[in-house]
A = this chain, B = another copy of it.
Amino acid sequence: MDTTNLPKMLYGGDYNPEQWDASIWPEDMRLLELAGMNIATVNVFSWAMLQPGEDNYDFETLDRIMDMLGANGIYACLATGTGAHPAWMARRHPDVLRTDFQGRKRKFGGRHNSCPNSPTYRMYAQRLADKLGERYKNHPALLLWHVSNEYGGDCYCDNCEAAFRVWLQQKYGSLDKLNEQWNTRFWGHTFYDWEEIVLPNALSEQWSDTRTNFQGISLDYARFNSDGMLDCYKLEYEALKKHTPDIPVTTNLMGTYKPLDYFKWAKHMDIVAWDNYPGMDTPVSLTAMTHDLMRGLKGGKPFLLMEQTPSQQNWQAYNTLKRPGVMRLWSYQAVAHGSDSVMFFQLRRSVGACEKYHGALIEHVGHEHTRVFRECAQLGDELRRLEGKLLGSRLPSRIAILFDWENRWAIEYSSGPSVDLKYVDEVQRYYKALYELGHAVDIVSFEDDLAAYDIVLAPVMYMVKPGMAARIERFVADGGDFVTTFFSGIVNENDLVTLGGYPGELRKVLGIWAEEIDALFPGRMNSIVMKEAIGELQGSYGCSLLCDLIHAEGAETIAEYGDDFYAGMPALTRNRFGDGEAWYVASSPDDAFLQGFLGELCRRRNILPLPGKAPGVEVTRREKDGQSYLFVLNHNEQAATIDLGSVNGTDLLSGRAVAGEVVLNGRDVLIVEHLA
């Protein structure tokens, strides 16, 4: 199933009429239509209503909701409702309750609270999905299935421990292999029986979510935990598909959420959907990167923005209002990066409990005469006019950034060299440089085909999975530019060091040897001194965090360290390998270096930035059927003058013909349709 099957640009959001008296429903319908909405996500937290007891199901209210949506021409994104188990189930079947990282058995409470290896949970969740599939398979409102909600967390109960041992047996086959890969002879942790293995938590091998005695077991637990939840998802997916093979099934992801390997998950999702909740101080380039990551999960296909707040969040420390225009601007940012929907949590604000101060289309006041409603209605009006053109369009790019969850886990479990090394931060540094230059970027997995790209960036490729090094060599030999950094090529997929000198399996393609890795205290800098100018890259730049002390072994030294006892050692190298070049950035450079360096790589490849880029202004381009759609998003409060260069087209929002220099109001957006 491909997202291009969507009938229109989806506009709507989470809607929980079962939490209200039905007398209010007609008013909801009136207001949704007034806001131009066409979809409602329903049934997300209704398990207790649908199954009030062991063998007792009641779909009457949900029937009425579905019928009402259908009658009002609103699609249903129908959730399976398994994101929080009923209280009675927790009481009668305590195996549904999780045991936390501290080893404490939890009691009933919260959401996303079920043990993924609970037999009760799996049985009842699958059964509920099955019943929903059976009941609503032919309902006219049904457009999309939404399995559970925001999968996450972890569990350390006995059921999980038993399941972990089975998972390990399947992975390793023998204890000998496991002992070797986890290096259990260290500290004499050799296992002689599978039953001796316990889950790594605060009572055993792990000190915290990032500190462990044995990276091997912690990494495997992280995989096991992600897989276990994915199994739960798949059980429901299959139950639904049995009834509705043609209705797409998804679940709402959470961007860069660390515990789940979303590349693995996306294989089992018909369309990617995610919930976007930036803080008021989140850099817009990080939101942009996260959209691109979500788009990358399924190889560039359009995705769904499943949730965002119309204005205020409730769970941040300081829940600032979205300023006028910001909701619209950020909605278009999602579309600009590949979303074929704009959806909110929530359509009507709940009257009690912890999300009652989270923004909604319909606020507690209950009518449409609010700033938030007006902004939503204006956007609904615009989207209705756009939809046919953008739906299913793609974002072309010649540059890829590699991203991998397992690599991230391994880096952040590492004991040393620096607690400040955070994978997403380093990826973001490279992304941001390209973003500021106006270049389109794809974010792809370690498994994706690289042949389509001219330039591949792999910040902190610490873990080299089987076959990866050969694939990179082939990419470079075939003419590609490959860039990687300090602390790369160190370990295999189980965090065992590749002996014989860093960067291990990447040493050949990079032509260097990293002898030592220095960790800099916060605030301490070294410098990267260019041996000669390369394009606009010249002179000296700052760097920090880690400094690899490398030796060129075939590579050419392009820049050197300027300070400390390793001044004069290479800080940036280039290795010609076959028809391409492999670059090594030995430290974490400042933004100026990265923009200069990556800009020069692009220029040499004749990769041109998108037109319209200006300070605080974001640009992307979607394409479809020979048409291009240039998005220009002014994140500044003030108006900006932008230069559209050779682009000559029509702004789909205003209907204006635009070309050359254009003045764009603060927080305003252009979507310029022009020939590709």
Contacts and interface: CB of A to CB of B under 8 A. Distances in A.
Interface of A: 16, 18-19, 45-49, 52-53, 81, 84, 86-88, 90-91, 102-111, 181-193, 195-200, 202-206, 212-216, 280-281, 311-321, 323-324, 349-358, 363-366, 370-372, 414-420, 494-497, 499-502, 513, 515-522, 549, 565
Contacts of A200: 109
A488 to B, nearest CB: 14
A568 B187 CA distance: 60
Contacts of A320: 518-521
B196 A108 contact: yes
Contact of A102 (B104, B280, B515): B104
Contacts of A315: 415-416
B192 A516 contact: no
Contacts of A365: 499-502, 513, 515
A338 to B, nearest CB: 30
Given A418-B317, A516-B321, A203 B106 contact: yes
Given A52-B190, A87-B192, 10 more contacts: A19-B185, A48-B190, A84-B189, A110-B205, A111-B213, A186-B350, A216-B352, A314-B415, A321-B518, A356-B497
25 contacts: A16-B185, A18-B185, A52-B192, A86-B188, A107-B198, A107-B199, A110-B213, A182-B352, A183-B352, A213-B354, A214-B353, A312-B416, A312-B517, A315-B416, A317-B418, A318-B419, A318-B420, A318-B519, A318-B522, A319-B519, A321-B519, A323-B565, A351-B499, A352-B494, A365-B515
Contacts of A215: 352-354
A216 B314 CA distance: 17
A339 B549 CA distance: 32
A202 B110 CA distance: 10
B109 A204 contact: yes
The CB with the most chain B CB atoms within 10 A, among A48, A81, A419, is that of A48
Nearest to A43: B188
Nearest to A196: B87
Contacts of A48: 184-185, 188-190, 192
Contacts of A549: 321
Nearest to A46: B188
A319 B188 contact: no
Nearest to A317: B419
B318 A183 contact: no
A354 B318 contact: no
A26 B510 CA distance: 31
B205 A91 contact: no
Contacts of A182: 352-353
B109 A319 contact: no
A188 B108 CA distance: 12
Contacts of A187: 45, 84, 110-111, 353
Contacts of A314: 415-417
A109 B203 contact: yes
A182 B354 CA distance: 11
A87 B363 CA distance: 56
Contacts of A521: 280-281, 318, 320
Contacts of A517: 312, 321, 357
